[in-house]
Amino acid sequence: MTQSKAAGSLQPIIIIGVLFFMFGFITWLNGALIPFLQLVCQLGEVEALLIAFSFYIAYVVMALPMARVLIWSGYKNAMSIGLGLIALGCALFIPAALSQQFGVFLLAQFVVGSGLTLLQTASNPYLVRVGPEQSAAARISLMGILNKSAGVLAPLVFTWLVLQDLGHITAESLALLDEAQRQQQLEMLSLQLITPYAGIAVAILLLAVALRFSALPDLPAEPAPVNTGTGDASVWQHRHLVLGVITLFCYVGVEVIAGDTIGLLGSALKVPGATTLTSYTLAFMVLGYSLGLLLVPRLLSQRQALAISAGLGLVLSLAILLSDAGSTAISALLWGWAGIPLLPDPVSLVALLGLANALVWPAVWPLALAGLGSLTPKGSALLIMGIAGGAVLPLVYGALSEQTGPVSAYIVLLPCYAMILYYALHGSKPKHIAVKR
């Protein structure tokens, strides 16, 4: 029966894989978009990170409403509706670029994030349930490879499409111009966003229609959990789920910091092509997901993979705080021999966080959803709300960066990786919490 289920899940996994690639591309455009809009809208560090905040805060605001949409429409239709919302958000970048109003950019980001909230709420539990439970982390790792591969491409494609003719415009060059000339240059930069985002909106809308009429099966509802006599069935009774939400809050925060602040760090350290630096972080995430696909569950359990990831994150975070911004020794050792441009050590270490982060998401989901039964949609929505860490923690980093400097601000990573390690070693073990009436 397990072999039959695994074989029957191949076609759905291919379809879901296309979705993961697409919304991975959208998500990781933020790494290039943040330093770009910082320049176009003349923003400070914390203001620039509001771009990530508006994107990820949608996961909190819209998670429970989207869970109701999922229950009402089913997995397949929910994914199609989510794609439609993403297409709408991308289309909103057109008036945002025309007006150069930062608030319109934030609204567009929120709508895109809302669509991704519904997609994530539906697709992650779908992946857990569509095949054998013991290999769920491997399936999510496969999706991670596609998602993060798209993330590697996104900043490179963005830089090529948007900055190929205007890459000479920098904060330093703008400072030499008078106000009229500066506004003209900024308007030229902003208008470069229209064609790429219009194309993305059309492509995603076509994908939404294709998905609606695809052969992707809807999974049936799971049976209700056994009543243990401790009160009404509630997601809050499952400690491993509640702690899983906290863990994902910490994880998504460090993932977004690693992917979206590396460009700001590179700009602060005068690294050429700062809008492409997110590709380094995502390349290491692809490597991590590939290792997960090979090792989990063959050689490592999901808990063991999570513990190793958290430990590596703690080590790299300490290394960032102690690193020398004037040295390029780490990049020279790791990829200098291949002719890839060298980076300052702090930037290289932030990129390496991608390796530490890769297996956290695919390990936490099956551990947190274990044994929820018919509560899985609500449990999934709560886990999705944990993505709020991507909204909150980068702002904490930005505030610290303005006070202590961009390298020292990475101290915010330490308690987050400590929480992930705790969940791997203890918090992920199922334990029922009695709810008093």
Non-local (6+) Cβ contacts of 368 within 8 A are 240, 241, 243, 244, 245, 247, 248, 379, 383, 428
Which range of 6-10, 63-67, 271-275 scores highest in mean pLDDT? It is 271-275
- The pLDDT assigned to 2 comes to 44
- The pLDDT assigned to 91 comes to 96
- The pLDDT assigned to 90 comes to 95
Q: 148-164 b/e with 16+ CB inside 10 Å = b?
A: bbbbbbbbebbbeebbe
Structure tokens at 102: 């930062």
Q: What are 63-114's pLDDT values in tens digits?
A: 888 888 888 888 888 999 999 999 999 999 999 999 989 999 999 999 999 9
Answer yes or no: are the C-beta atoms of 208 and 83 closer than 8 Å: yes
Structural Rg of the chain based on CA atoms: 21
Cis peptide upstream of residue 155 (ω within 30 degrees of 0): no
Q: How far is CA 159 from CA 106, 164, 437, in A?
A: 20, 7, 57
- The pLDDT assigned to 167 comes to 62
* DSSP string for residues in 354-423: HHHHTTHHHHHHHHHHTT-GGGHHHHHHHHHHGGGHHHHHHHHHHHHHHHH-TTGGGGGHHHHHHHHHHI
Q: What angle do CA 398, 147, 250 make, to 5 degrees?
A: 40
Overall average pLDDT of the 239-254 stretch? 95
Lowest mean pLDDT among 124-128, 155-159, 339-343, 368-372: 124-128
Nearest of 129, 146, 147 to residue 9 by alpha carbon: 129
The number of C-alpha atoms within 13 Å of 6 and in the hemisphere containing its C-beta is: 10
pTM of the model: 0.79
Range of the domain at 43: 2-215+235-427
Nearest of 265, 254, 260 to residue 393 by alpha carbon: 254
In a domain, 228, yes or no: no
Residue 111: helix, strand or coil by DSSP?
A: helix
Greatest Cα-to-Cα distance within the chain, rounded to the nearest angstrom: 73
> Any idea what the CATH number is for the domain that residue 274 is in?
1.20.1250.20
Lowest mean pLDDT among 57-61, 325-329, 341-345, 391-395: 57-61
In a domain, 434, yes or no: no
- State how far the Cα of 288 lies from the Cα of 308, in Å rounded to an integer: 11
User: Would you say the C-alpha torsion 251, 256, 262, 265 has a positive or negative sign?
Assistant: negative
In a domain, 223, yes or no: no
- The pLDDT assigned to 168 comes to 67
* pLDDT above 50 (res 437): no
- State how far the Cα of 142 lies from the Cα of 146, in Å rounded to an integer: 7
Strand partners, 432: 238
Structure tokens at 35: 């330093």
In a domain, 67, yes or no: yes
- State how far the Cα of 25 lies from the Cα of 154, in Å rounded to an integer: 5
Total domains in the fold of the chain: 1
In a domain, 226, yes or no: no
Q: What are 154-193's pLDDT values in tens digits?
A: 999 988 888 777 666 767 777 777 788 888 888 888 899 9
In a domain, 98, yes or no: yes
Answer yes or no: are the C-beta atoms of 378 and 221 closer than 8 Å: no
Nearest of 38, 431, 12 to residue 244 by alpha carbon: 431
Other Cβ atoms less than 10 A from the Cβ of 77: the count is: 16
Answer yes or no: are the C-beta atoms of 288 and 356 closer than 8 Å: yes
The DSSP call for residue 424 is I
**Stated length of the chain:** 437
- The pLDDT assigned to 1 comes to 38
Task: State the pLDDT confidence band at 5, using cuts at 50, 70 and 90.
Answer: very low
In a domain, 79, yes or no: yes
In a domain, 174, yes or no: yes
Overall average pLDDT of the 242-261 stretch? 95
- State how far the Cα of 337 lies from the Cα of 325, in Å rounded to an integer: 20
Percent of the chain predicted with pLDDT > 70:
91
